[in-house]
Amino acid sequence: MENTTESTMESMTAEVRPRVAVSSCLLGAPVRFNGGHSRDRFLAGELEEHVDWVPICPEMEIGLGAPRETLRLERGPDGPRLLTRRTRRDLTAEMADLAAERAAEIGAVDGYVFKSKSPSCGLHGVPVYGGSAPGAPGRRGPGLFASAVTGAHPSLVVEDEGRLHDAVLREAFVERIFAAARLRALLSGDWRPRDLVDFHTRHKMQILAHSPGAYRVIGRLVAAAGDLPRETLAREYGWAFRTALLVRATIGRHVNVLHHFLGRISADLDPVRRADLTEVIEAYRAHRVALAVPLALLRHHAKGAGAGQVQEQTYLSPYPDALRLRNHVPA
């Protein structure tokens, strides 16, 4: 019977395909204000092979069509207003109603990629006009639609395509959507407390890499799994798990997890292999090699040692290896 690290990792990441909402233009749909698109090569190429997209274009859904008059946010007494630039048509109510409708459905997705700088879908730095200088933005913030969706779902994994050009942010986003998908697959089925315990056991090192504090809190929650009502356990664990992964995984925390793994297989390694692995971990700490390098050695040695508990950890392969997202050397 085959028992390899590679097959174990591949089976875990192949369990579910994340369902990810996305601004339609980023997949190549001609829905931009000028009738064009903003197709993103990573989203519509490499990542598309591994996720199920849920395309959304708020402007098209409220009936604006493409091409269309451009929009902008302007300061209002009750918050930003969404207006057409030339004809001054106020679309705030229509967009707010659509956002509320879509937000009610977002629980079925594992993440959302928004179009950057859009007055409806931008997550950061969208100009809000008004004030003493009418032609200049008074402040910047999120787009109207994006603000409503993220406000309704604060633990939803979100990013915009501009920030996904950064290797660190891209890796973090992809890790989180695959983790959210595995959690959704568990909680949407006929699970029992022991199934949640098994799920948590597989994700322990992944959680530790993000938040040692959450690792301890969630551990206490799981220890009481059999004493909590099923709905309460699902709600509290789901929130704690998703918010833990929103914490940035630092180099120091990765090194801590790598040493945890080394400790588990150390007894099965000869002094030379143990020293080699320690040296590579320190090279990663010193920003000389990518995280993929010590991970490859750990996976290889865990296979040789037959360390089943190590091989089952999602940390070693939190998403399909074909995405090659841990190959950047830390800055």
For residues 203-211, average pLDDT = 97
Q: How far apart (Å, rounded) are the C-alpha atoms in residues 73 and 90?
A: 10
What would the mean pLDDT of 251-277 be, rounded to a whole number? Answer: 93
Average pLDDT over the chain, rounded to an integer: 91
Q: What is the pLDDT of residue 199?
A: 97
Strand partners, 71: 84
Domain match, 217 and 120 both: no
Enumerate the β-bridge partners of residue 38. Answer: none
Mean predicted confidence (pLDDT) in 173-201:
96
Query: Distance (Å, rounded) from C-alpha 62 to C-alpha 89?
Result: 13
Same-domain pairing of 87 and 179: no
What residues have CB less than 8 Å from 285, skipping those under 6 apart? Answer: 251, 252, 255
* Whether the predicted pLDDT of 4 surpasses 50: no
pLDDT number for residue 303? 76
As a whole number, mean pLDDT of residues 104-129 equals 93
Q: Which of 212, 245, 278 is the last residue of a domain?
A: 245
Q: What is the per-residue pLDDT for 137?
A: 62
Residues 223 and 193 in one domain: yes
**C-alpha to C-alpha distance for 209 and 223, rounded to whole angstroms:** 20
Residue 105 confidence class, pLDDT cut points 50, 70, 90? confident
- Burial code (b: 16+ CB inside 10 Å, e: under 16) for 79-99 equals ebbbbeeeeeeebbebbbebb
Do 143 and 158 have their domain in common? yes
Same domain, 20 and 145: yes
C-alpha to C-alpha distances, 208 to 36, 188, 214, nearest whole angstrom: 44, 25, 8
Q: Which of 157, 159, 152 is nearest to 121 (CA)?
A: 159
pLDDT digits (tens, 9 = 90+) for 236-251: 999 999 999 999 999 9
Q: What is the DSSP string of 116-138?
A: TT-TTT-SS-EEEE-SSSTTSEE
Boundary residue ending a domain (127, 149, 165): 165
CB 248 within 8 A of CB 210: yes
User: Which residue, of 165, 180, 205, is where some domain finishes?
Assistant: 165
**Where residue 134 falls among pLDDT bands split at 50, 70, 90?**
low
Residues 43-82 have pLDDT tens digits of 999 999 999 999 999 999 999 999 999 999 999 998 999 9
Q: 102 in a domain, yes or no? A: yes
Domain shared by 187 and 54, yes or no: no
Regarding whether 207 and 292 lie in a shared domain, the answer is: no
Domain region containing 276:
251-323
Report yes or no on 97 lying in a domain.
yes
Domain count, the chain: 3
Residue 143 contacts residue 122 (beta carbons within 8 Å) = yes
Q: Tell me how many degrees the CA angle 8-12-16 measures, rounded to the nearest 5.
A: 155
Q: Do 161 and 21 belong to one domain?
A: yes
The percent of the chain in helix, strand and coil, each rounded to the nearest 5, is 55, 10, 35
User: What confidence score (pLDDT) does residue 10 get?
Assistant: 47
Query: Structure tokens of 26?
Result: 């980023």
Hey, is 319 helix, strand or coil? coil
Q: Is the pLDDT of residue 127 over 80?
A: yes
Residues 44 and 186 in one domain: no
